Structure 1
Amino acid sequence: MENHQDIVSFIWDIADLLRDTYKRNEYQKVILPFTVLKRFDCVLEHSKDDVLRKYNEYKDKIENLDPILEAAAVDKDGRKLGFYNYSKYDFKSLLEDPDHIEENLMHYLDCFSPNVKDIFENFYIKTHIEKLSKANLLYLLIKKFSESKVDLHPDKISNHDMGIIFEELIRRFSEQSNEEAGQHFTPRDVVKLMTHLLFLENGENLKEKNLIKKIYDPACGTGGMLTSCKNFVREINDTIDVVLYGQEINEEIYAICKADMLIKGERAENIKGPSSTLSDDQLKDEKFDFMISNPPYGRKWEQDKEVVEKEAELGFDGRFGAGLPGIKDGQLLFIQHMLSKMKDDEKSRIAVITNGSPLFTGDAGSGESNIRRWIIENDYLETIIGLPDQLFYNTSIRTYIWILTNQKSPDRIGKIQLIDASSKYVKMRKSLGKKRHQLSDRDIDDILTFYRNFSENDMVKIFDNDDFGYVKVTVERPMQLNFEVTEERLQNLYSMNAFRKLAESKNKNIEKRMIEEEKGKKLQLDIIRALQKINGHYKNWKDFEKEVKRTLKNFELSNAFIRNIIHALSEHDETADYVTDTRGNIKPDPKLRDTERIPLKEDIDEYFKREVLPYYPDAWMDRKKDKIGYEINFNQYFYKYKPPRSLEDINSDIQKLTSEILELIKDDLDD
């Protein structure tokens, strides 16, 4: 199609009508739904009379007219359109009655089939119609969309070309509104790279004739990733039936995506929403060959919490059996969700983009670490590509593409490939929001070559799965304390909860409360005065305990209270006797407790002998507290040491700056 850019530009220019009524970042709320409406109006033209005739014939006879009207709404080749409208109005007749254009347009919208009404309801088009009518813009807008320059009739514009026009409008509006739209629109350079990575390992498998491949995006936004995947597959083999599925939470973006699919002749009913995929999976029973997504990152999943936690209780009978991440970030929930959608007996592949948090957030035993452990130990993770910063409209942070699959190629089994592509970008001439960098075709080709070659260099590292795992071992050291009654140590008693509460009262009667509190304060002072009678410096718990119990025998204090007093009067002392329990076992000192992260490939006992015992000979490991953790500290693997500047260079710079400052001072004095 030669003139699609002209059509896009003309529609884009129509937005100028809205200048005084809408903000620039709101233009798409009007222009996109009216573009969809105009396309539907043109597509329905061929069979409009037949649909009207069927409607009038059966409206008083049959309650559900959907099957009849759907069958009547066809294109010139007799193929069903998948939607209908039984109103007598179209764009032309709407303009013929300008005084009632708002009323007639509302009636026109109400006569669409349910799938189209769903789209326009989520566009909130009726609200905008009312606003446009009040601003005396509705007639002008319909008139502009009726001009020959916006001829969207299927005889002139195919479904594919209409898809291109709509995508271009979406892109322009998204780039214009930058940060807001960046949540739903992934830049085309990133989509292109992800699409190639998703299918690179399946090139040969896609060459069979008449295959059916299902592709899914659980946070599909405007559907750009899904469309990119379909176009890529069809270029390889145009006999493949590519079926697209998606779900989107944002109402307007859901409407855009569903409209785009309907415009292109896709199965628009496969686009679900508007609702959260995490708490309302509307494709529960579906499994997919390929999945691609840019789920929201750094966003709380509080609204999904109740449903997600309930499903997590099902273990691996649900989607979140590996664990739950912290409430502030749901990226690992989306990854688990996508992995649950892989086919059981066939190969499935996933390309998903995240920020750095899912790679390393969370200590051993945490939800995040357990999810990484499950992913890696099941050998799902194939590759992670670290992208440059400033690639997205709404964030400048670095991002990472994860490639996951349930069937790795033989040379990749048990391996994970890391690619540092942080330097693979070109600067943009003009920034779009926070997007200042983009991936050129050459950059994309270089990254794909790194992936395909599967060999190490400065930008590629290949690891065994268990290289990312470690055991977090608890290291204990013996409790050794000395004891002495000093004014300083006696003050520690007031940090004891039980001792402090002696002088507190919950009595609601103020006078009684004051009496009880004074009584408690006196008891505190009596205990302190009694303890002050203990002299000497002790290095044995039992000896000091006997003395404390003897001194406080008249106060009727519990053993736990006595123990807390002893701790308050103690200090760590490596020359003191070990503190033991009733069985003679040495007690660990919680204040000296430490942990060691020991790589899975290391012998724990050998590590302990080498790294701990030389410094703390009486330390021991409490192996009952072992926790296995996994993290991918991406930057660590590509760290390059940069030596500090020499002292000579630093001194030279200081002298130079000093000279410049003196010259400036001299000039000021001369003036």
Structure 2
Amino acid sequence: DWLEAIIALPLNMFYNTGIATYIWVLTNRKPEHRKGCVQLIDATQWYKPLRKNLGKKNCELSEEDIRRIVDTFLRFEETEQSKIFPNAAFGYWKVTVERPLRLKGIDPEREYSAKEIKKLRETAERAEDAPPVIRKIHKSGTAADPLRGLFEATIHGKPRVVEYEPDTELRDTEQIPFLECSACHEPGYLPSAADQHTAIETFLRREVLPYAQDAWYDPESVKIGYEINFNRYFYKPKALRSLEEIRADLLAVQKEAEGLLEEILGGTNHE
């Protein structure tokens, strides 16, 4: 919990590049009121233009701009240019979602070896309505858990739990935010392993299973990442033009086109 704030600076602040630049404010002695939170400050519009460009550099921070940034940081308040988030708001789980390989002409009640599956991939035809390829039949007593790839099936008249071979062409990934965990909305709280499982499975049941009922994920494949996207938090959509403005423009273009047509026809008749 060392990150206090990130400040987005104006573009074209440096001589040889126009890339976006940021100031990261770090400390190992966070004040109590900042603990568990990160402040984002959008200072991209606070600058003084240069009279003459120096390479790609066309602006700089004036004393007034610097003071404005410092004051915004010290006030630690939500404004149009200052947003405050719990640490967990930037975290996510990257989850690989699998679906079974379905091939025509296979035996839906037998287990196929890796060698057999490789050959089937090369020779058999895929189809959505074909049976899934079984790669493992578990012993009796194994509990089913479809969301983790353990499916109930009837094998030679007996209920068993099986694993299907995943179809790499249908493999997908989901980026699931930490904020799927309700407790993560509290400053300083980071999800536990139990929170992770609950949040991921709740998300998949809501967003994936309604469209792919045979989907599953491997808990061992879950990766944790963080992303801070200023555009997401400070984007300001442009106001749409009114119908009156659009209509006026169309009428003006129509009038101009009619005038050009009259000139063309008039010139033709004169000849």
TM over 0.5: yes
User: Sequence identity, in percent?
Assistant: 46
Q: Which has the higher contact order (CA 8 A, sep 6+)?
A: 2
In the alignment, the residues of structure 1 paired with residue 237 and residue 7 of structure 2 have an alpha-carbon distance, to the nearest angstrom, of: 21
**Amino acid across the alignment from 1:590:** T
2:223 to 603, 627, 631: 627
- Pairwise CA distance, 1:566: 2.8
How large is the Cα RMSD of the aligned pairs?
2.9
Q: Is the 8 A contact 1:424 1:443 kept in 2?
A: yes
- Pairwise CA distance, 1:582: 4.6
Runs of 4+ in 1 over 6 A off after TM superposition: none
In the alignment, the residues of structure 2 paired with residue 435 and residue 657 of structure 1 have an alpha-carbon distance, to the nearest angstrom, of: 40
In the alignment, the residues of structure 1 paired with residue 247 and residue 103 of structure 2 have an alpha-carbon distance, to the nearest angstrom, of: 51
Q: Is 2:63 aligned against 1:435?
A: no
Q: What residue in structure 2 maps to residue 590 of structure 1?
A: 168
Q: What residue in structure 1 maps to residue 20 of structure 2?
A: 398
Q: Is 2:18 aligned against 1:422?
A: no
Summarize the alignment of residues 71-470 of structure 1 with structure 2, pairs less than 5 Å apart: 379-470=1-92
Q: What residue in structure 2 maps to residue 575 of structure 1?
A: 129
Q: Is the 8 A contact 2:77 2:84 kept in 1?
A: yes
Summarize the alignment of residues 657-668 of structure 1 with structure 2, pairs less than 5 Å apart: 657-660=253-256, 663=259
1:566 to 120, 126, 129: 120
Alpha carbons of structure 1 residues 653 and 565: separation in structure 2 relative to 1, 3 Å = farther
- Pairwise CA distance, 1:461: 0.6
Q: Is 2:94 aligned against 1:472?
A: yes
**Amino acid across the alignment from 1:450:** T
**Amino acid across the alignment from 1:437:** C
What is the CA deviation profile of residues 68-126 of structure 1, one whole-angstrom value per residue up to 9, with x for unaligned ones?
A: xxxxxxxxxxxxxxxxxxxxxxxxxxxxxxxxxxxxxxxxxxxxxxxxxxxxxxxxxxx
- Pairwise CA distance, 1:655: 4.0
Q: Is the 8 A contact 1:383 1:416 kept in 2?
A: yes
Q: Is the 8 A contact 2:92 2:177 kept in 1?
A: yes
Q: Is the 8 A contact 1:481 1:541 kept in 2?
A: no
* Secondary structure class of the residue paired with 2:252: helix
Deviates more, 1:608-617 or 1:621-630: 608-617
In the alignment, the residues of structure 1 paired with residue 164 and residue 172 of structure 2 have an alpha-carbon distance, to the nearest angstrom, of: 17
Alpha carbons of structure 1 residues 563 and 610: separation in structure 2 relative to 1, 3 Å = closer
* Secondary structure class of the residue paired with 1:629: strand
Unaligned runs of 5+ residues in structure 1 are: 1-378, 483-537, 547-558
- Pairwise CA distance, 1:450: 0.6
- Pairwise CA distance, 1:644: 4.0
Q: Is the 8 A contact 1:469 1:600 kept in 2?
A: yes
Alpha carbons of structure 1 residues 456 and 661: separation in structure 2 relative to 1, 3 Å = same
Summarize the alignment of residues 511-530 of structure 1 with structure 2, pairs less than 5 Å apart: none
* Secondary structure class of the residue paired with 2:220: strand
**Amino acid across the alignment from 1:400:** Y
* Secondary structure class of the residue paired with 1:462: strand
Q: What residue in structure 1 maps to residue 252 of structure 2?
A: 656
Alpha carbons of structure 1 residues 665 and 430: separation in structure 2 relative to 1, 3 Å = farther
Q: Is the 8 A contact 1:391 1:435 kept in 2?
A: yes
In the alignment, the residues of structure 1 paired with residue 235 and residue 102 of structure 2 have an alpha-carbon distance, to the nearest angstrom, of: 42
Q: Is the 8 A contact 2:93 2:177 kept in 1?
A: yes
Alpha carbons of structure 1 residues 661 and 388: separation in structure 2 relative to 1, 3 Å = farther
In the alignment, the residues of structure 1 paired with residue 124 and residue 248 of structure 2 have an alpha-carbon distance, to the nearest angstrom, of: 55
- Pairwise CA distance, 1:621: 1.6
In the alignment, the residues of structure 1 paired with residue 211 and residue 91 of structure 2 have an alpha-carbon distance, to the nearest angstrom, of: 25
Alpha carbons of structure 1 residues 481 and 647: separation in structure 2 relative to 1, 3 Å = farther
In the alignment, the residues of structure 1 paired with residue 169 and residue 223 of structure 2 have an alpha-carbon distance, to the nearest angstrom, of: 20
In the alignment, the residues of structure 2 paired with residue 403 and residue 578 of structure 1 have an alpha-carbon distance, to the nearest angstrom, of: 53
What is the CA deviation profile of residues 431-454 of structure 1, one whole-angstrom value per residue up to 9, with x for unaligned ones?
A: 222222222222222111110100
Unaligned runs of 5+ residues in structure 2 are: 138-161, 181-198
In the alignment, the residues of structure 1 paired with residue 250 and residue 124 of structure 2 have an alpha-carbon distance, to the nearest angstrom, of: 52
In the alignment, the residues of structure 2 paired with residue 541 and residue 654 of structure 1 have an alpha-carbon distance, to the nearest angstrom, of: 65
* Secondary structure class of the residue paired with 2:134: coil
**Amino acid across the alignment from 2:122:** A
Q: What residue in structure 1 maps to residue 189 of structure 2?
A: none
